[in-house]
Structure 1
């Protein structure tokens, strides 16, 4: 991508979001495990914008804090009170300062719009460009009134005539212009309309009166959809997942039931990997090629190397790192543990904080006891070690290379390499005691029935 003029982005995120009916601010609701606002910031960064300003409302300190954490205090503009989109954009004018170049206005509640969809707006270096779309149901959308290739006006549905309402080309709200031109036009916008607000869309007609070129470029309706209610959030999530599934299938990932697999925004999966039904990927999952993720597994913040197998019903939490040919079986949870080549934990175990050496075997029901109520500690299992079923390894503890831990042991001290460690009570057999017990128990039960 060649950038011929400096670029900036103004992201509008000051809406109340009352239709979401949620204590979480609208733009912080996630799509693909990422806040909608972050999707908008991602697009601006991918466009090469050297300045990004997010317009927030005074009613949402959480949104402000989110922006400051990612972009810094200099990226904040405040709209107070909210008086329409034109007023919101003007709130960013002082923050942009002496920036000279093109500026694009986008929205924090439009999570599916990518940099590639926005890029065409920067081709009009002297005038105003908006992104339009052909609506399946134009409804309350603002209409794009076109004269050939030129955009003559954007008319809000409440202000439109019957003739204009018949137009199916609609306004997405995304607009770009040279920064000086945009703010000069906004200074002329009035609030003489049905809502008593300052419409950003009015700058198109004002630009034409000045002789500045105005045009529209088009994107898909799904890409420009805004989210204002929980139903629309679910719809955006479904569209996001559809794109992710199609992308991975095209890249050589096998999914017998792709509609049941859910991805995060940053999921990475190599070609030749198989993802069985009902797998969920949280943020930070990196799966190499030739891996098999079996059904009903959950993976987040974990890396999986070629040839490994995970699941079914497995959970990989942040910090789990599986090397080549590692096998994690059913109902095994791994958190912050590096497992070396060929290591196995096939059944019903919790491995938290530590490492497992190459070729080591972790028996069913093994627990890494990593937390004492105050602090975490590490468990180290050496190369080729064997941990018997139903064992508890109380960290900090090291099981040496080639060591064997007997089933049912509670290990609180280090086990030397190649040693056999047994840490359980001695078994005692009392001949005939079982029969005596049964007779007494049966008598008690019979007496209770008679009573």
Structure 2
């Protein structure tokens, strides 16, 4: 049977107290909605919809970063989850398959859980809600069962009666149903509740009245974490990092201080990598086997080769590839550079817009002057070369193979293979200057 995924993402998120739409806040370096989109795409759905509000343009701009291209449906008025699903079903006119309703602010639901949810949706029970047990139900709606797996009704938190707050089986909001049945039930929703909205959860009771079974699929509480406030987002980031650290350790990565190491959703680290304390890894980072990332290093958008040592106190920025057996040391910043095997930049250096060959040494204090105030320019350095300390390389420029620059030089002309580039004033010594100076005190 065909499957359509519907991601509800039209909520204003006022409790975030931010001008940015809630689902565009980052978790693990990626927008909240991306986590749901990425997981649901693994089901290979036939249709993929995202329901948005008046923030459609911002969401489309964000989506441009990624390969996914969901169908965007605008919910002109935010009249509740039931109304949002009605908008989706109207857009799915003619679709006769299974519809799975997810949320853009609920990022941890797993593919395996969604597979179970879909499998639980049968002829006799054509609607299935995702529920969870918790000792702290808070503001979640409660699931009232007829028997072990059949839902009689779902009560939103605002509508709970005395005694019902003690119920620990809660509704995640995620639901799966056959499209025809969903259309039939959603059409019957009304706004007679504490919020004056169309509650999607009311379809459970409507299904019971119509002699349609409504089942519950139980998942881990962690999968249902929703984000409504900045505090929720911070707590979710903590959960994400704990899960990612566990994944890294299980895959053979050594973390000397897991609690001070931070990853992104797409972090790719091979086994036998050692990561020292206080390391932040942004998006787009790949670290190959045997590398060591030393303390207080910040990585983003880069590839680190086998057996290379990065840090301490190093920043490697987007567009950088560092080959195997390289050493990038303390207080070095690199951006948009391709650095070949065996090359070293041990301290106090800026490398930007560069190609550096194999087994080259970049001396302390070297600056690649790549920006003229309008345009960026490239520096190219060959194999087996030596850049002396405190060299300024004025791009665009080429330094050949087995070439050198003298310490303290400002290099603005190409240096041929095997040559020494030197550009500095001739030293002049003033005899007796110290004695003359002291006599003036």
How has the CA–CA distance of structure 1 residues 42 and 387 changed in structure 2, closer, same or farther, with 3 Å as cutoff? same
Q: Which residue of 2 aligns with 1:375?
A: 375
Q: 1:350 touches 1:366 (CA, 8 Å); kept in 2?
A: yes
How has the CA–CA distance of structure 1 residues 261 and 97 changed in structure 2, closer, same or farther, with 3 Å as cutoff? same
Q: Which residue of 2 aligns with 1:190?
A: 190
SS at match of 1:130: strand
Q: 1:56 touches 1:64 (CA, 8 Å); kept in 2?
A: no
SS at match of 1:237: helix
For residues 411-439 of structure 1, what are the alpha-carbon distances to aligned partners after superposition, in whole Å with 9 as ceiling and x for unaligned?
11110111111111111111112221232
Q: Which residue of 1 aligns with 2:211?
A: 211
Alignment size in residue pairs: 437
For residues 39-74 of structure 1, what are the alpha-carbon distances to aligned partners after superposition, in whole Å with 9 as ceiling and x for unaligned?
111112012112111111125642354357758887
Deviates more, 1:262-271 or 1:126-135: 126-135
How has the CA–CA distance of structure 1 residues 413 and 71 changed in structure 2, closer, same or farther, with 3 Å as cutoff? closer
2:77 is equivalent to residue 81 of structure 1: yes
Question: Quick one: distance in 2 between partners of 1:142 and 1:161?
Answer: 12
How has the CA–CA distance of structure 1 residues 336 and 65 changed in structure 2, closer, same or farther, with 3 Å as cutoff? closer
How has the CA–CA distance of structure 1 residues 274 and 360 changed in structure 2, closer, same or farther, with 3 Å as cutoff? same
Question: Quick one: distance in 2 between partners of 1:111 and 1:59?
Answer: 19
Q: Which residue of 2 aligns with 1:447?
A: none
2:272 is equivalent to residue 272 of structure 1: yes
Q: Which residue of 2 aligns with 1:291?
A: 291
SS at match of 1:10: strand
Distance apart, 1:90 and its partner CA: 0.7
Q: Which residue of 1 aligns with 2:31?
A: 35
Q: 2:13 touches 2:22 (CA, 8 Å); kept in 1?
A: yes
Question: Quick one: distance in 2 between partners of 1:395 and 1:154?
Answer: 67
Question: Quick one: distance in 1 between partners of 2:94 and 2:66?
Answer: 23
Q: 2:56 touches 2:74 (CA, 8 Å); kept in 1?
A: no
Q: Which residue of 2 aligns with 1:260?
A: 260
2:141 is equivalent to residue 142 of structure 1: yes
1:417-428 alignment runs, 5 A limit? 417-428=417-428
1:241-256 alignment runs, 5 A limit? 241-256=241-256
Q: 1:43 touches 1:114 (CA, 8 Å); kept in 2?
A: yes
- Gaps (5+ residues) in structure 1? 443-451
Question: Quick one: distance in 2 between partners of 1:24 and 1:62?
Answer: 9
How has the CA–CA distance of structure 1 residues 26 and 353 changed in structure 2, closer, same or farther, with 3 Å as cutoff? same
Q: 1:105 touches 1:176 (CA, 8 Å); kept in 2?
A: yes
Q: 1:131 touches 1:172 (CA, 8 Å); kept in 2?
A: yes
Question: Quick one: distance in 2 between partners of 1:17 and 1:92?
Answer: 20
Distance apart, 1:272 and its partner CA: 0.5
Q: Which residue of 2 aligns with 1:330?
A: 330
Question: Quick one: distance in 2 between partners of 1:19 and 1:60?
Answer: 19
Question: Quick one: distance in 1 between partners of 2:55 and 2:315?
Answer: 38
SS at match of 2:240: helix
Q: Which residue of 2 aligns with 1:237?
A: 237
Scaled by the length of structure 2, the TM-score of the pair is 0.96
How has the CA–CA distance of structure 1 residues 120 and 294 changed in structure 2, closer, same or farther, with 3 Å as cutoff? same
1:9-20 alignment runs, 5 A limit? 9-20=5-16
Return the match for 2:50 from 54, 75, 97.
54
1:176-187 alignment runs, 5 A limit? 176-187=176-187
Question: Quick one: distance in 1 between partners of 2:363 and 2:214?
Answer: 69
Q: 2:345 touches 2:362 (CA, 8 Å); kept in 1?
A: yes
2:21 is equivalent to residue 22 of structure 1: no
1:115-134 alignment runs, 5 A limit? 115-123=111-119, 124-126=121-123, 127-134=126-133
Deviates more, 1:402-411 or 1:205-214: 205-214
Q: Which residue of 2 aligns with 1:94?
A: 90
- Gaps (5+ residues) in structure 2? none
Q: 2:367 touches 2:390 (CA, 8 Å); kept in 1?
A: yes
Following TM superposition, where does structure 1 have runs of at least 4 consecutive aligned residues deviating by more than 4 angstroms? 67-74
Scaled by the length of structure 1, the TM-score of the pair is 0.94
Distance apart, 1:273 and its partner CA: 0.4
How has the CA–CA distance of structure 1 residues 116 and 184 changed in structure 2, closer, same or farther, with 3 Å as cutoff? same
SS at match of 1:91: helix
SS at match of 1:106: strand
Q: Which residue of 2 aligns with 1:361?
A: 361
Distance apart, 1:211 and its partner CA: 2.8
Distance apart, 1:75 and its partner CA: 1.1
Question: Quick one: distance in 1 between partners of 2:385 and 2:55?
Answer: 58
Question: Quick one: distance in 2 between partners of 1:201 and 1:97?
Answer: 22
Q: 2:50 touches 2:70 (CA, 8 Å); kept in 1?
A: no
Distance apart, 1:16 and its partner CA: 1.1
CA RMSD of aligned residues (A): 1.6
Distance apart, 1:210 and its partner CA: 2.6
Distance apart, 1:242 and its partner CA: 0.3
Distance apart, 1:403 and its partner CA: 0.5
